[in-house]
């Protein structure tokens, strides 16, 4: 061979090699040949996402951690992205990953997801497709722009896995609902392309994967235990793997091998198609593997030339979705939006027709422009009780609350409201069993008219047709939708089919929309034709509003520059009216709202309102929830707060002067009928006619203390003079007015025979006192030193409340409902200030100058140095402690122990809120913790005793939980153990209170039924009654050394007098006693049923049939005395100060702790 021929031959060999190489590269790119024989597997678990090279199976790398419930996973190799769904977090997220570096997580979808189980990425156009087995939707989103669209929503039951084929514009998904199937459709969501390709021999189709080279679909069936294959048209079905499949879930295809996860074997398996097996286990995973993909770029080959959507997003304004040929693509709009008229490429940026739905703690929007009616939750903070909702088309704001109370009389349970701004009307429904009705009034609340009152039960939603002047409403009890004219005439039934509990109703165009609370649906009907479901199974649907953006608004006078009104403008049928929000008043020009220097605040029944005394007469009701029966009222000008007592809820509450920020300050009241604010010392004083006492606390309700409790006869109105250190009050029982120091010292009568005085007020300038008397009715005056008494006004009907401001006196008449003013010196110049206020109970003045009435008391500066209460006194002040706490020797701070202090009221409340069904109580004087057995939560809890209000739930610690029927408990203070009984286990159990560790069962046996417990701290005796054996027993702390003390059946209470070594119990309408050695058994009282027994200091305290009782144990046949301030006693315990060592004898210094279950309160006696 010549040199030339050798060179040509070598060139040919090289050329052949290059040709073969190019062919191999081409085949690899096309997917016909893969040089990777050991691919990387990408798979998810419930808690993370992992990758593993099949050639190094022992080295599994976790690339995403801290998932709540990981589900589907996929990748976009060209952009180094990993994406996954989390079912519990209801998220789809992505992050960058290039096999060496992991980026930050990015949220792609965070709304409208519940169970995203399938995920597939279109690598041609960078879009993400997913299935949701709970919302029953198949959706798509562009990863970059986040344009989102619902593709299929009907006849989707439990869609699971999804796969896309971008080169064909096709997607496939499995559905294992009631009708299991595999479906195919265009990636553009065109219903015409949708087709079921597998419907036979299928049960639980799970994972699905694509052989892109041969146009084949593989899937696994978890119930029938196989892997089958079929072509894109649903033909040529073959079984691939049958043997040994247990619970296959996800499936992946690569290089003629199948990979799948199995939920029963907790493994990833593989199968070689070319050799027909065998099945191999690759990885044993913990947690169980969920979804699975082969992470390789050759699975996402890009086309070499042009392809749909490549250039300029296909000309589409939003979404360019691949589609089957010949078109290859279609422009689409995000869900809720539609194409502009005459365009196939350009969408509106927002929906044009919408529904907004109130869902208590959420508000959702639903577009009416797309047929899927997909709801999306609006991101609103602190939404707690959204029942109704509306939309302002001018500002495009959503509203779910109002700002001004227009009507409050004769309303029982107003539900729906609708406005007709052009006509100047508002309509509302009133939901009441006795008096249901639909009414109309002018927009300012005047000209009220009853429209519908017959054949109504629960009228809920209201909708208006302002073009045809029609009123529509739904009735939740009669299950109907009805219509009438806006004057109430021509009433007729419109729809009555399959309505269970209609709530919201709205009208848009020719359609009525309504929510059904019971069915959890939102439906619509054409006003003249058929019904259509809009949304099914949507939680807490309440009010609904339909509207169309950009609609031309009808004109009314308030539309032009608010008609010159500075704040609120109401159009009425006759004219427009300017009005003001709460806290402002309309000036004399009747257009401008101004902030008044002063105004009246009044209460009547369940209403608190403002009344003007400077500008145009106005009566504004404060929007305060849950007012039941206001009995007393006070204002704190400096704090801009309003305080009131409620006779029915037995509380003192406060709010801002505009009615907002309502909070409970004090609980467990009797009947508070007088409140006064010490603006200098920042304390609140009140009278209680039920408990016959005068009390004080800090303005936040802490450090509560009783000041006067003896010699009172129905104290009523109270007034304070902090500068001089005096308080004044009227008494209905003694018909007198009394005075004492604001510390409760030196109470004395200053005015006698004044009749029944319900209201008093101090004139600080004249040093005088005004009062309103009822017998005879008059308003009187006298100087505070007791001189100069005179009748100022006597031609009045029933002056019930009065107040002062500047040179005028104001009073309200209970009978006539008239509020008047007159000169405070002469009583002349009477002027009517307000009317229609029958049963007015309180009248106060809020005035700017009243915030600082002189220098005040010495408590004004740094609380007088006091740690808790600083109480003004005549010429001085003194520090004081909450009830049953002792002032230390520094006269400033308090001893943090509950003690029985001489000279104080014998009972006081511990400020523990939230107690409900209490079975037993205990107190630990070592750690100062209060224990209670809670039957509702099946637990024993404890909380540290505090000066301030504490919650029994949020501030407590669970000591023992899981008690199905807790019965009684007792505390071993020295041994730091808690013993308790349960009526279902019939046992005595013990727990260490220092570390909450259980000591197990102390006593349990056949026929034994231990119930009530007692414990002798020094003798170390555990004592109980046995309801099964009918005995009272004693033992050591470990349950050994049992001794029978007495035979006793039907025991209702048990108590120990440790000092006298005597046990007491209640049974058979008697109280019995026995010594601890079993001797000297006797009856100490008989007179009726007794329970909740405690013994201390020679007295027995117990709950009688009608009231709490106290019995002197040292006096034979002594009658039991009632404790009138402690009704409905359910548990009692005598507690004392105990040393931490075990002495031979011990002196208990104690008080009793009682629980009043009706008000869930603790009382110290």
- Listing DSSP states for 349-403 in one string gives SS-SEEEEEE-BS-EEEEESSSTT--EEE---SS---B---EEETTTTEEE---S
The DSSP-derived string for 661-703 is: S-EEEE---S-EEEEEEETTTTEEEEEETTTTEEEEEETTS-S
Mean pLDDT calculated for residue range 929-934:
88
Q: In the predicted model, is pLDDT for residue 1022 greater than 50?
A: yes
Which has more confidence, 1006 or 803? 803
Residue of 791, 787, 748 whose CA lies nearest to 771: 791
Which has more confidence, 817 or 571? 817
Residue of 421, 499, 417 whose CA lies nearest to 461: 417
- CB-side neighbour CA atoms (13 Å) of 243: 7
Task: Report the relative pairing of strands 70-76 and 576-579 from DSSP bridges.
Answer: unpaired
Residue 1131 has phi, psi (to 5 degrees) of -155, 145
Mean pLDDT calculated for residue range 691-699:
94
CA distance 84 to 117: 10
Q: In the predicted model, is pLDDT for residue 940 greater than 50?
A: yes
Task: Identify the pLDDT of residue 897.
Answer: 57
Confidence of residue 37 (pLDDT cuts 50, 70, 90): low
- Count Cβ neighbours within 10 Å for each residue of 518-530 and write b for 16 or more, e otherwise: ebbbbbbbebeee
For 85-94, 376-385, 579-588, 708-717, which range has the lowest pLDDT when averaged over its residues? 376-385
Q: Is the peptide bond before 914 cis (omega within 30 degrees of 0)?
A: no
- Count Cβ neighbours within 10 Å for each residue of 597-614 and write b for 16 or more, e otherwise: ebbbbbbbeebbbbbbbe
Task: Identify the pLDDT of residue 529.
Answer: 60
User: What is the three-state SS of 1085-1144?
Assistant: EECCCCEEEEEECCEEEEECCCCEEEEECCCCCCCCEEECCCCCEEEEEEEECCCCCCCC
| Local structure of residue 212 (DSSP, 8 states) | T
> CB of 539 within 8 A of CB of 503?
no
Q: In the predicted model, is pLDDT for residue 617 greater than 70?
A: no
Task: Identify the pLDDT of residue 364.
Answer: 84
Task: Identify the pLDDT of residue 1153.
Answer: 41
Confidence of residue 904 (pLDDT cuts 50, 70, 90): low
> CB of 91 within 8 A of CB of 84?
no
Task: Identify the pLDDT of residue 777.
Answer: 96
- Count Cβ neighbours within 10 Å for each residue of 107-132 and write b for 16 or more, e otherwise: ebbeebbebbbbbbbbbbbbbbbbbb
Which has more confidence, 474 or 898? 474
Which has more confidence, 594 or 170? 170
Find the distance separating the first CA and the last CA of the chain, reported in whole Å: 125
CA distance 576 to 557: 7
pLDDT digits (tens, 9 = 90+) for 859-877: 988 999 999 999 999 999 9
pLDDT digits (tens, 9 = 90+) for 168-219: 999 999 999 999 999 999 999 999 999 999 999 999 999 999 999 999 999 9
Between the alpha carbon of residue 431 and those of residues 145, 404, 450, 505, 1032, the distances in Å are: 48, 21, 14, 15, 58
- Tell me the whole-structure pTM to 2 decimals: 0.61
Q: Collapse the DSSP code of 44 into the 3-class scheme (helix H, G, I; strand E, B; otherwise coil) and give the result.
A: strand
Task: Identify the pLDDT of residue 853.
Answer: 54
Residue of 671, 666, 662, 599 whose CA lies nearest to 629: 671
For 264-268, 287-291, 748-752, 894-898, which range has the lowest pLDDT when averaged over its residues? 894-898
Q: Which two tokens stand for residue 829?
A: 């110049």
> CB of 458 within 8 A of CB of 502?
no
How much is the mean pLDDT over the chain? Answer: 86
The DSSP-derived string for 430-485 is: E--SSS-EEEEEETTS-S-EEEE-SS-S-EEEEEEETTTTEEEEEETTTTEEEEEE
Which has more confidence, 1127 or 469? 469
| Local structure of residue 301 (DSSP, 8 states) | P
| 964 exposure class (CB count in 10 Å sphere: 0-12, 13-18, 19+) | exposed
pLDDT digits (tens, 9 = 90+) for 951-975: 666 778 889 988 888 999 999 998 8
Mean pLDDT calculated for residue range 98-118:
91
Q: In the predicted model, is pLDDT for residue 402 greater than 70?
A: no
Task: Identify the pLDDT of residue 1138.
Answer: 53
Residue 846 has phi, psi (to 5 degrees) of -100, 115
Task: Identify the pLDDT of residue 207.
Answer: 96
Mean pLDDT calculated for residue range 648-674:
91
> CB of 191 within 8 A of CB of 204?
no
Confidence of residue 380 (pLDDT cuts 50, 70, 90): confident
Residue of 216, 221, 172 whose CA lies nearest to 193: 172
Q: In the predicted model, is pLDDT for residue 476 greater than 70?
A: yes
Task: Identify the pLDDT of residue 750.
Answer: 96
Which has more confidence, 761 or 900? 761
The proportion of the chain whose per-residue pLDDT surpasses 90, expressed as a percent, equals 54
Task: Identify the pLDDT of residue 21.
Answer: 42
Mean pLDDT calculated for residue range 54-63:
91
| 1112 exposure class (CB count in 10 Å sphere: 0-12, 13-18, 19+) | middle
> CB of 998 within 8 A of CB of 980?
no
Confidence of residue 1157 (pLDDT cuts 50, 70, 90): very low
Mean pLDDT calculated for residue range 296-304:
91
Chain centroid, CA 376 distance in Å: 21
Tokens 């208006």, residue?
Answer: 464
| 33 exposure class (CB count in 10 Å sphere: 0-12, 13-18, 19+) | middle
């Amino acid at each position: 061979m010549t040199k030339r021929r050798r060179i040509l031959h070598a060139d040919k060999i090289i050329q052949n090699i290059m040709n073969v190489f190019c062919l191999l590269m081409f085949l690899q790119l096309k997917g016909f040949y893969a040089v990777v024989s050991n691919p990387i597997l990408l798979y998810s678990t419930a808690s993370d996402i992992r990758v593993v090279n099949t050639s190094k199976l022992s080295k599994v790398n976790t690339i995403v951690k801290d998932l709540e419930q990981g589900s589907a996973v996929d990748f976009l190799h060209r952009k180094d992205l990993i994406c996954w769904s989390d079912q519990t977090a209801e998220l789809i997220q992505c992050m960058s990953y290039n096999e060496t570096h992991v980026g930050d997580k990015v949220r792609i979808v965070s709304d409208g997801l519940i169970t995203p189980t399938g995920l597939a990425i279109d690598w041609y156009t960078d879009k993400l497709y997913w299935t949701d087995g709970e919302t029953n939707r198949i959706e798509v989103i562009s990863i970059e722009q986040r344009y989102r669209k619902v593709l299929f929503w009907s006849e989707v039951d439990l869609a699971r896995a999804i796969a896309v084929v971008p080169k064909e514009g096709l997607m496939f998904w499995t559905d294992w609902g009631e009708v299991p199937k595999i479906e195919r459709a265009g990636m553009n969501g065109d219903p015409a392309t949708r087709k079921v390709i597998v419907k036979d021999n299928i049960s639980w189709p799970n994972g699905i994967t694509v052989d892109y080279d041969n146009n084949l679909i593989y899937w696994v069936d978890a119930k029938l235990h196989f892997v089958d294959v079929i072509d894109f048209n649903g033909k040529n079905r073959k079984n691939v793997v049958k043997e040994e499949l247990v619970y296959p879930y996800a499936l992946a295809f690569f290089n003629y091998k199948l990979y799948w996860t199995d939920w029963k074997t907790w493994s990833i398996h593989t199968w070689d198609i070319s050799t027909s097996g065998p099945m191999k286990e690759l990885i044993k995973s913990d947690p169980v593997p969920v979804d699975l993909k082969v992470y390789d770029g050759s699975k996402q080959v890009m086309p070499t030339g042009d392809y749909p959507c490549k250039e300029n997003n296909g000309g589409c304004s939003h979404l360019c979705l691949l589609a089957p040929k010949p078109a290859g693509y279609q422009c689409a709009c995000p869900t809720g939006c539609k194409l502009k008229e005459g365009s196939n490429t350009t969408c509106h940026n927002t929906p044009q027709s919408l529904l907004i739905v109130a869902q208590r703690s959420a508000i959702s929007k639903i577009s009416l422009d797309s047929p899927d009616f997909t709801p999306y939750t609006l991101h609103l903070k602190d939404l707690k009780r959204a029942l109704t909702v509306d939309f302002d088309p001018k500002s495009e704001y959503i509203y779910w609350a109002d700002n001004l109370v227009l009507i409050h009389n004769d309303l029982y349970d107003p539900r729906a409201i609708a406005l007709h701004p052009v006509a100047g009307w508002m309509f509302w429904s009133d939901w009441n069993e006795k008096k249901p009705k639909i009414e109309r009034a002018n927009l300012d609340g005047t000209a009220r008219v009853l429209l519908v009152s017959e054949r109504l039960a629960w009228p809920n939603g209201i909708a208006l047709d302002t073009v045809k002047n029609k009123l529509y409403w739904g009735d939740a009890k009669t299950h109907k939708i009805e219509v009438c004219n806006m004057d109430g005439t021509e009433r007729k039934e419109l729809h009555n089919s399959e309505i269970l509990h209609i709530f919201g109703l709205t009208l848009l165009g020719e359609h009525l929309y309504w929510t059904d609370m019971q069915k959890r649906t939102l439906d619509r009907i054409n006003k003249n034709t058929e019904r259509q479901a809009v949304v099914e199974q949507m939680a807490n649907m309440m009010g609904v509003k339909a509207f169309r953006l950009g609609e031309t608004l009808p004109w009314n006078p308030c539309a032009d520059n608010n008609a010159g009104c500075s704040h609120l403008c109401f159009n009425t049928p006759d004219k427009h009216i300017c009005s003001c929000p709460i806290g402002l008043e309309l000036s004399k020009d009747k257009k401008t709202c101004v902030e008044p220097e002063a105004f009246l605040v009044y209460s009547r029944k369940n209403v608190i309102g403002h009344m003007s005394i400077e500008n145009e007469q106005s009566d504004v009701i404060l929007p305060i929830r849950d007012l039941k029966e206001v009995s007393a009222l006070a204002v704190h000008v400096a704090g801009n707060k309003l305080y009131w007592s409620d006779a029915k809820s037995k509380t003192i509450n406060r709010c801002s002067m505009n009615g907002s920020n309502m909070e409970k300050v004090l609980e467990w009241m009797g009947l508070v009928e007088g409140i006064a604010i010490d603006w200098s010392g920042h304390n609140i004083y009140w009278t209680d006619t039920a408990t016959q006492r005068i009390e004080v606390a800090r303005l936040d309700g802490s450090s509560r203390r009783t000041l006067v409790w003896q010699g009172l006869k129905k104290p009523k109105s109270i007034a304070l003079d902090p500068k001089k250190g005096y308080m004044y009050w009227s008494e209905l029982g003694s018909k007198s007015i009394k005075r004492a120091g604001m510390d409760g010292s030196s109470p004395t009568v200053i005015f006698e025979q004044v009749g029944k005085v319900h209201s008093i007020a101090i004139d600080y300038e004249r040093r005088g006192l005004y009062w309103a008397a009822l017998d005879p009715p008059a308003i009187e005056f006298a100087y505070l030193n007791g001189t100069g008494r005179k009748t100022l006004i006597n031609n009045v009907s029933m002056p019930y409340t009065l107040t002062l401001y500047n040179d005028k006196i104001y009073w309200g008449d209970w009978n006539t409902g008239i509020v008047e003013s007159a000169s405070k010196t002469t009583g002349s110049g009477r002027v009517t200030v307000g009317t229609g206020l029958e049963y007015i109970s309180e009248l106060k003045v809020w005035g700017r100058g009243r915030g600082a009435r002189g220098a005040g008391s010495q408590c004004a500066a740094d609380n007088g140095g006091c740690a808790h209460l600083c109480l003004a006194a005549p010429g001085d002040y003194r520090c004081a402690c909450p009830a049953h706490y002792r002032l230390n020797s520094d006269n400033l701070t308090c001893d943090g122990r509950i003690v029985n202090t001489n000279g104080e009221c014998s009972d006081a409340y511990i400020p523990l809120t939230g107690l409900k069904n209490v079975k037993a109580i205990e107190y630990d004087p070592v750690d100062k913790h209060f224990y209670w057995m809670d039957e509702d939560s099946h637990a024993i809890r404890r909380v540290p005793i505090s000066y301030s209000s504490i919650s029994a739930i949020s501030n407590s610690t669970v000591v023992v939980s899981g008690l199905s029927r807790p019965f009684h408990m007792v505390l071993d203070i020295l041994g730091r153990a808690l013993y308790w009984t349960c009526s279902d286990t019939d046992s005595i159990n013990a727990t260490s209170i220092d570390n909450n560790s259980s000591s197990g069962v102390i006593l349990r046996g056949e026929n034994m039924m231990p119930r009530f417990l007692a414990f002798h701290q020094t003798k170390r005796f555990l004592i109980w009654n046995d309801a099964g054996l009918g005995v009272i027993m004693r033992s050591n702390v470990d349950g050994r050394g049992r001794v029978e003390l007495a035979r006793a059946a039907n025991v209702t209470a048990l108590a120990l007098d440790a000092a006298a070594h005597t046990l007491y119990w209640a049974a058979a309408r008697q109280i019995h006693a026995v010594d601890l050695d079993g001797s000297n058994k006797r009856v100490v009282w008989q007179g009726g049923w007794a329970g909740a027994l405690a013994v201390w200091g020679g007295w027995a305290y117990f709950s009688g049939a009608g009231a709490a009782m106290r019995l002197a144990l040292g006096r034979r046949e002594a009658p039991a005395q009632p404790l009138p301030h402690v009704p409905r006693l359910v548990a009692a315990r005598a507690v004392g100060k105990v040393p931490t060592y075990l002495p031979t004898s011990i002196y208990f210094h104690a008080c009793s702790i009682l629980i009043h279950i009706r008000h869930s309160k603790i009382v110290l006696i």
